Amino acid sequence: MALEPVMKTYNRLSVAFERGEGAWLYDTDGNKYLDALSGIAVTGLGHAHPAVTHAISEQAARLIHTSNLYSIPLQEQLAERLTRISGMDNVFFGNSGAEANEAAIKIARRYGHSKGIDLPTIIVMENSFHGRTMATLSATGNRSAQAGFEPLVAGFVRAPFNDVDAIRTIAANNPNVVAILVEPIQGESGVMIPADDYLAQLRDICDEQDWLLMLDEVQTGNGRTGTYFAYQQSGIVPDVVTTAKGLGNGMPIGACLASGNAAKVFVPGNHGSTFGGNPLASAAALAVVDTICNEGLAERAKQLGERIVNGFREQLSGAEYVKEVRGRGLMIAIELTEAGTELAVLAKVKGVLLNVTGGGKIVRMLPPLIMSDTEADLLVNTISKLIKIYSADDRAKPRV
Ligand SMILES: *Cc1c(COP(=O)(O)O)cnc(C)c1O
């Protein structure tokens, strides 16, 4: 049998889209879908946002790429915006979340070596997700994603998420630790929200131990959780923060921001990227960042997220199949009592795009920040009805 020309790294739903507008996608047969996934937290401004389209087409006609061997004014402007928003000192640009995290891991290792630690170790969490490159896969807390790719990269030690005592135990026993790498809210494992003071406590430990606090905001950044970065709700400033997904609204770009000593670690020759922060990607990201800030979209994400979560809690109260509805801004999860992987397909049939993660038990929604109240209510009504039918009837043969 002939192999398909694209490697089978994904199980894809049988639908292909040919255009999008705002919160809507249109397939090749002319059907429309409410996009409550945003290409996994990427298209926060929705599809075909005029500011992003304009920035990309203008810049594409002018200059797409030069090289990081030359100065790139658009990259400098983007770095200036991001440092001003975040309180960080400087930025390295790559092309993805994994690359942003690779930069963070390299900063932590070099920081360790500068302190005389020969085998620098980074604390990472159970059920975390940091990417698919060898170092970020090794940092990821998912055995099935790692299986078959051993030997993994050394230099990581794992702790349970949202468990400060476990971090203190490691601090007391492992002199090689140089940093903590953690998602402020775990995304891929199912919108896991830690205690309100978790990041502040990690900040204290890092200060006491002289470790770097490194936050993976690849998914939580760019307004999604109600502030530009999620850590801004914790009253702390990290040493390193990475972001990507929503930064380019679909134009591939990743950023690793650093502050204080972490910002002084890299010198020329230590790290690089051919494409990272090129004029086209920087122009797109500038349009995204300015739109999020000028239009108050982080605040909008907070309000809209509350509306959606409250709507689901009301409509799904007493539904036996539903364990919990939770969310922070526009990271929203409906946790089921048993696996409901086929809900993604059933929702698609009903004209709504979402995904099911966390071992099939967590229905996850990452709607665009520009979604209207009416669209949000349509989302809540459609998915609540679907889950209630699915829950009440023979689950093996759901009637939809
Ligand atoms: C998606 C994601 C990544 C990986 O980003 P890529 O762009 O796919 O490399 C890393 N960390 C978190 C928290 C993510 O959600």
Between 230 and 318, where is the model more confident? 230
C-beta of 186 in contact with ligand 1 (< 6 A): no
pLDDT value at residue 399: 44
- Identity of the residue numbered 185: I
Distance (angstroms) between ligand 1 centre and the Cα of 131 equals 5
Q: Taking 70 as the threshold, does the pLDDT of residue 243 lie above it?
A: yes
Q: Pairing between strand 177-182 and 17-21?
A: unpaired
Q: Taking 70 as the threshold, does the pLDDT of residue 75 lie above it?
A: yes
CB 132 within 8 A of CB 102: no
pLDDT value at residue 359: 87
Residue 220 alpha carbon, nearest atom of ligand 1: 13
Is 348 noted as a catalytic residue in this protein? no
Which pLDDT band holds residue 400 (cuts at 50, 70, 90)? very low
Distance (angstroms) between ligand 1 centre and the Cα of 101 equals 8
C-beta of 98 in contact with ligand 1 (< 6 A): yes
Between 164 and 2, where is the model more confident? 164
Q: Taking 80 as the threshold, does the pLDDT of residue 224 lie above it?
A: yes
Which pLDDT band holds residue 43 (cuts at 50, 70, 90)? very high
- Catalytic entry in 92, 93, 129, 229: 129
Residue 219 alpha carbon, nearest atom of ligand 1: 15
CB 365 within 8 A of CB 379: yes
Identify the DSSP state of 186.
B
Identify the DSSP state of 47.
B
- Identity of the residue numbered 193: I
Is 290 noted as a catalytic residue in this protein? no
Residue 99 alpha carbon, nearest atom of ligand 1: 9
Q: Taking 90 as the threshold, does the pLDDT of residue 272 lie above it?
A: yes
Q: What is the pLDDT of residues 79-89, one digit of tens each?
A: 999 999 999 99
H helices within 150-252, ranges in order?
Answer: 164-173, 198-209
Distance (angstroms) between ligand 1 centre and the Cα of 392 equals 36
C-beta of 96 in contact with ligand 1 (< 6 A): yes
Which pLDDT band holds residue 391 (cuts at 50, 70, 90)? confident
Q: Say what the pTM is.
A: 0.97
Residue 360 tokens read as 């099939």
Burial class (CB in 10 A: 0-12, 13-18, 19+), 268: exposed
- Identity of the residue numbered 172: A
The percentage of the chain sitting over the pLDDT mark of 70, rounded to a whole number, equals 98
Is 161 noted as a catalytic residue in this protein? no
| Residue 157 phi, psi dihedral angles, 5° rounding | -130, 140
Q: Taking 70 as the threshold, does the pLDDT of residue 97 lie above it?
A: yes
SS3 content of the chain, % helix, strand, coil (to 5): 40, 20, 45
Q: What is the pLDDT of residues 198-218, one digit of tens each?
A: 999 999 999 999 999 999 999
pLDDT value at residue 394: 52
Q: Taking 80 as the threshold, does the pLDDT of residue 285 lie above it?
A: yes
What are the chain's domains? 17-48+296-396 (3.90.1150.10), 50-294 (3.40.640.10)
